[in-house]
Copies of this chain bind each other. A is one copy, B any other.
Amino acid sequence: MPLPEKALIAQIRRMAKSSTRGRALGSKGPIFTGIGDDCAVLRLLPGQETLVTTDFTLEGIHFRRDWHAPESVGHRCLARGLSDIAAMGGEPVAAFLSLALPRDLPQSWVGRFARSLISLAEKFGVTLAGGDTAESPNGILADIIVVGTAPKGKSVLRSGARPGDRIFVSGELGGSAAAVLQMRIKPKKKVKPRDYPRHFFPEPRIELGRILREKGIASAMIDTSDGLSTDLAHLCEESGVGAELDAALIPRARVGKPAREVDLDLALHGGEDYELLFTARPGKRIPSQIAGLALAHIGHITRPRLILLRNLKGIAYEFEPRGWEHFRR
């Protein structure tokens, strides 16, 4: 019997070759020559810097097979990496997938996973340029690597925030964590992906990130993968500043059926929304939306290295980032 990973190599190679081998992705894009070689070869244009990000997607940690369809796992796997590129204001150009599969995994699971991942890649003009496959001793293990570009010196870093900058976030928060909460509370009840799209099929904010970089709006930026409180703490740490947030201004996701607004705690601490959290200099005019996404002004950067939250009663207190714990028991 052929091992699943053998079939997978063939399948992914076929899909990747037929759609993108040797293709120049418009005038901005790179050319690939090395698919099927020891390394992928990328020819990037001069004047660009290269962005690289890697993210695990592990069964039992980042997803559960009984909760997530293979399409969702494939989509989320790549979306995590694309979101990191968005958070730099970059353009994604190539993805690499390292995938280890248990021997007994049905081939159909792999096909559905791969098709969904490749479909998201195509949507963003990203070439699946290589990777590695192996047999997994336990569970499905994926690691996605995304390579992107930005004009030299123009990537938006976490470290650019200064006291007085205003803090903004795109879209709504807490929608992804709300799905996890539902599945935890009622493990038997099927949670419908269409009621929680931000959890099952998050959309990386590539266009928003690029516009924020091109127009020089964002002084610092990060994506909300770990949750607002944790990601804001990362941004503040790298910038050497503090922040004050206003709870009343935090955009809370409306999820479920009938749709209702998530609790403040989920919006503050829930991870995997993949929105963009950024700062802007005081004088900068910020549109109320960009690329169809609402931008909410939720607070400002301070000199003291503390993170304060002004709660719904208007009282400010220091608050601790709470880690996003995925599906940890």
Contacts and interface: CB of A to CB of B under 8 A. Distances in A.
A159 B36 CA distance: 9
A41 to B, nearest CB: 5
Interface string A161-194: 0000000000000000000000000000000000
Nearest to A158: B37
Contact of A143 (B44, B98, B157, B159): B98
Interface stretch (A58-66, A68-76, A247-255, A307-315): A58-66
A195 to B, nearest CB: 27
Contacts of A132: 54-56, 143
A50 to B, nearest CB: 4
B158 A52 contact: no
A49 B53 contact: no
A143 B58 CA distance: 12
Contacts of A61: 100, 134-137
Interface stretch (A85-93, A109-117, A292-300): A85-93
Interface in A87-143: 87-88, 90, 94, 96, 98, 100, 129-132, 134-139, 141, 143
A137 B84 CA distance: 24
Interface residues of A, number: 60
A147 B130 CA distance: 13
Contact of A56 (B49, B50, B134): B134
B135 A137 contact: no
A238 interface: yes
Contacts of A54: 96, 98, 130-132, 143, 145
B145 A58 contact: no
B38 A84 contact: yes
B130 A53 contact: yes
B238 A37 contact: yes
B100 A58 contact: yes
A46 interface: yes
A131 B141 CA distance: 16
B134 A58 contact: yes
A148 B56 contact: no
B130 A52 contact: yes
B39 A96 contact: no
A275 to B, nearest CB: 13
A273 interface: no
Interface of A: 33-34, 36-44, 46, 49-56, 58-62, 84-85, 87-88, 90, 94, 96, 98, 100, 129-132, 134-139, 141, 143, 145, 147-148, 150, 152, 155, 157-159, 221-223, 238, 328
